[in-house]
Amino acid sequence: MDDYTLIKRFLGGDKQAFDEIVIRHRDWVVGMAMGSLGDPQRAEDIAQNVFVKMYFKLHQFRFEAGLKTWIYRIAMNELNLYYRKEKMISWFREDEEEHLVPSYNPDDESDVKKYGTVVRNLVKKLPKIQRSITVLRIYQELPFKNIGEILGISENSAKVSFYKAKVNLKKWIKNK
């Protein structure tokens, strides 16, 4: 059964249809959040928020785009909300400092984990659109065309913003 049929069944009162939608999409939503956050518990929390919002807003789905695109938008909004909250919290932590791994050895698993954490923390500092594009491109491996559809921008704008994000990340890494 396709997503559109499940949505129609849910809107018609079949609550089990929504459960099927969650089962079908949960793993990639958690994976996307995990790729961005690096924290399994927070990723689960984000995914739960996504599906709760979906439950209450599915009646607004317009059947103009795919359900997965619509879920991506909700997930990106949830991640951006999380990052805004984290930024406010970090303003009140005077002793919070992030350290870059001084030497990186791709064969050393602990270096890979540390460096991945550093990169995720730097991605969190990117402007909202650059951060969203980076998460979708790197962690979800989506083509720029799909990224543009999800974020409501052109494919070319997605490419330009991704390039700017890479420039920013490289600059920040050099300055650390």
- Mean pLDDT of successive 10-residue segments in the chain (176 residues)? 94 94 96 89 94 94 90 91 68 42 52 66 88 85 90 92 89 78
Is 98-176 the same fold as 1-96? no
Domain regions of the chain by residue span: 1-96, 98-176
CB 73 within 8 A of CB 146: no
92-115 b/e (C-beta count within 10 Å ≥ 16 → b):
eeeeeeeebbeeeeeeeeeeeebb
Helical H runs in 12-108?
15-37, 40-57, 67-91
pLDDT at 10 (0 to 100): 95
CA distance 32 to 72: 9
The CATH code that applies to domain 1-96 is 1.10.1740.10
pLDDT at 96 (0 to 100): 39
pLDDT at 87 (0 to 100): 62
pLDDT at 101 (0 to 100): 43
For domain 98-176, the CATH class is mainly alpha
pLDDT at 60 (0 to 100): 92
